[in-house]
Amino acid sequence: MRRLTSILKVAAVMLSAVLVLLLLSGAYLFSISRTLPDVGAYPAHALAPRTSIVYAADGSVLAKWHGEQDRTYVSLDTIPVSMRSAVVAIEDERFYEHDGVDAEAIGRALHVNTQTGGYAQGGSTITQQVVKLLFTDGERSLERKIREALLAFELETRTSKDLVLETYLNLVYFGEGAYGVEAASQRYFGHPASELTLAESALLAGVVQAPSRYSPCVDPDAARERRDVVLRKMHELGMITSTERAEAASDPVELDPVVEPAEVAPHFVEYVKRTLIEELGADAVFGGGLRVYTTLDPRLQLAAERAAAEVLDRPDDPEVALVSLDHTSGEVLAMVGGRDFRAGQFNLAVQGRRQPGSAFKTFVLVAALEQGVKPTDRFSAAPYEVEVIDGIWKVQNYENSVTGGDLSLSAATNWSVNAVYARLIMRLGPEAVVDVAHRMGITSTLDPHPAIALGGLTTGVSPLEMASAYGTIAAEGMHVAPLAVVRVTDDAGQTVWEPDFAATRALDPGIAKTASAMLHDVVERGTGGAARLETWTAGKTGTNQQYRDAWFVGYSENVTTAVWVGHPEGQVPMTNVHGIRVTGGSYPAVIWKRYMTTAVPVHAGVAGQDAAEGAGASQREATICTESLALARPDCPQAVTVLLDADSVPGEYCPLPH
């Protein structure tokens, strides 16, 4: 009896110890469970960084953005069965049988590791590896393993085996900087994962355990041996036949990595990147798996780059910036931000703000038309002096080519006569010109000083702004802000961001059409002759003091393009470039014409000619002698073609004896 009592006491003590141990274990597990992350945020792939892809307007790839992990997410149904089976066979053969944790595999791993005296085999399931990649820090400890097991079990209660496997195949590292099966297939074989063969699938599955040791790029023999181990395991599990195994094992390890395409429009791509970082944040841009659909036309981009490189082809030549827009939609068609993106990533087309010279006179012209000034109104062309706030403003004409007499506004625009425009802005007020420029699309700060009439700005303007503003005239007074991105989706096709597209009425249509007709004359009869196309063309030259900046901005059909030539490092005079002084009517106009000769036929749409010439029944085009203001005869030395109200067209021809 005494012995039985002793046994019962011992049993009670042992039971109490077991209960205490269970309670402590339960409390421990409960405390860990309270710190577990919420796997309800599944699908889990959304938590992993994925590569973002940028597309041109024709669907070609412009760039891929990623941080440390290059990953493109693909759905399970696009991954061949051979790839899925190979990974399951070598990484977790009981994947479809366990509930996230495989006790049998853990026991087998403990037995093998005990025999070898080291870490020869792991017991983690594919689900646990997904959990480790997504929710834990990778630290090797008992607590971490317990957390993994709890999370793996919870994950499998919330989602399907297929989604777990899909996530794993998109998360795991395959070596050589490739994360996920799609990036790995492209990196090693140069084709998408959907085209993987059995031999390629087995090779990739074998890499996972030790990407450095089994990399086919580093050690093809080791990679082949490991591939054959995977094939043998697949055969043992009944996943493939003996014939399939033999045929796959006989394939040589041949790599054909995808060749990274040459950089296309790097300044444009960087412009898009900066825009999206501002809108969506850097994490989304570099790890959100975005699909960015842009407006860039690769054919026109190539034409723009060629035009700039062929005209100014010497190493010490000035730089060229070019921006081309569809002014009906605001879409950026082409962008050249400098000669060499690698040498300097500063984007001269967007970030460069330089003095526009006479190209800014267009805004004075529009302001004058809004205030009732007619193209035929005459102004003195003599050198001009006037007192302004900070002293006496002295204005000379371009190289003093015009020293006196009166000129019509049309003639003064054709030949960019400074004195006429200086007198004009004093009559209009610089505030009116600033208002017009901002309405038309200039976003830089403009100080209302009279000197802006001649392009004398405090900070300057960019080619992107100038193209946008001139596009407002071309579009009959409707302004659309420049648009480089059409839409952004995630890698599942859901829209993440779309820019606001809004056309606003900036100018009266009649004013815009009259201005267009006058800018057409600049090309036909004035300083812009080098830009003349076979189609209807309008534009304006601009040359800064001492030839430091030279511009041509113009449009034809539905394409508006701005070209700037200069030295980005400072205000360097361009007095001897290929033997000439650089004006807006020289190299900028030539580059503009070379590009537009390609761009206009390629990007045909709403005709700019219709926008300018279709002024309505109340207006018509007339060729006027600038000296008599009557209809010009063939022998009139200075004649301009302008759009006039029907009742303003002279009824007689010029009576002067030229």
**Six-digit token pair at 406?**
């009166």
**Six-digit token pair at 439?**
């309405």
Question: In angstroms, rounded to a whole number, what is the distance separating the alpha carbons of residues 434 and 524?
Answer: 28
Provide the 3-class DSSP secondary structure of residue 500: coil
Q: Is 91 a catalytic residue?
A: yes
HEC per residue, 464-485: HHHHHHHHHHHCCCEEECCECE
Residue the block writes with tokens 């944790």: 101
Question: In angstroms, rounded to a whole number, what is the distance separating the alpha carbons of residues 170 and 193?
Answer: 11
Q: Is 358 a catalytic residue?
A: yes
Beta-carbon contacts of residue 584 (< 8 Å; ≥ 6 apart): 357, 358, 359, 527, 528, 540, 541, 542, 543, 550, 551, 552
Beta-carbon contacts of residue 57 (< 8 Å; ≥ 6 apart): 294, 295, 296, 297, 298, 331
Provide the 3-class DSSP secondary structure of residue 61: strand
* φ, ψ dihedrals at 505, nearest 5°: -80, 110
* φ, ψ dihedrals at 548, nearest 5°: -85, -30
Specify whether the CB–CB gap between 321 and 351 falls below 8 A: no
Question: In angstroms, rounded to a whole number, what is the distance separating the alpha carbons of residues 656 and 658?
Answer: 6
Question: In angstroms, rounded to a whole number, what is the distance separating the alpha carbons of residues 253 and 225?
Answer: 10
Determine if the peptide bond prior to 43 is cis (ω within 30°): yes
**Six-digit token pair at 471?**
């596009």
CA dist 518 → 41, 315, 411 (Å)? 62, 37, 9
Specify whether the CB–CB gap between 539 and 416 falls below 8 A: no
Beta-carbon contacts of residue 456 (< 8 Å; ≥ 6 apart): 355, 449
Specify whether the CB–CB gap between 200 and 207 falls below 8 A: no
In DSSP terms, which residues pair with 485 in a beta bridge? 294
What is the enclosing helix (H) or strand (E) of 421? helix 418-428
Beta-carbon contacts of residue 18 (< 8 Å; ≥ 6 apart): none
Q: Of 91, 148, 305, 627, which one is the catalytic site residue? A: 91
Amino acid at 220: P
Q: Of 358, 408, 462, 516, which one is the catalytic site residue? A: 358
**Six-digit token pair at 161?**
């085996």
Specify whether the CB–CB gap between 419 and 393 falls below 8 A: no
Question: In angstroms, rounded to a whole number, what is the distance separating the alpha carbons of residues 55 and 62?
Answer: 5
Question: In angstroms, rounded to a whole number, what is the distance separating the alpha carbons of residues 356 and 543?
Answer: 7
Closest among 486, 465, 468 to 295, alpha carbons compared:
486
**Six-digit token pair at 380?**
């003195």
Question: What's 98's DSSP letter?
Answer: S
Q: How many CB atoms lie within 10 A of CB 319?
A: 20
Q: How many CB atoms lie within 10 A of CB 38?
A: 8
Provide the total of helices (H) and of strands (E) in the chain, helices listed first.
Answer: 21, 18
Question: In angstroms, rounded to a whole number, what is the distance separating the alpha carbons of residues 607 and 616?
Answer: 16
Closest among 124, 131, 132 to 90, alpha carbons compared:
124
Provide the annotated active-site residues. 91, 358
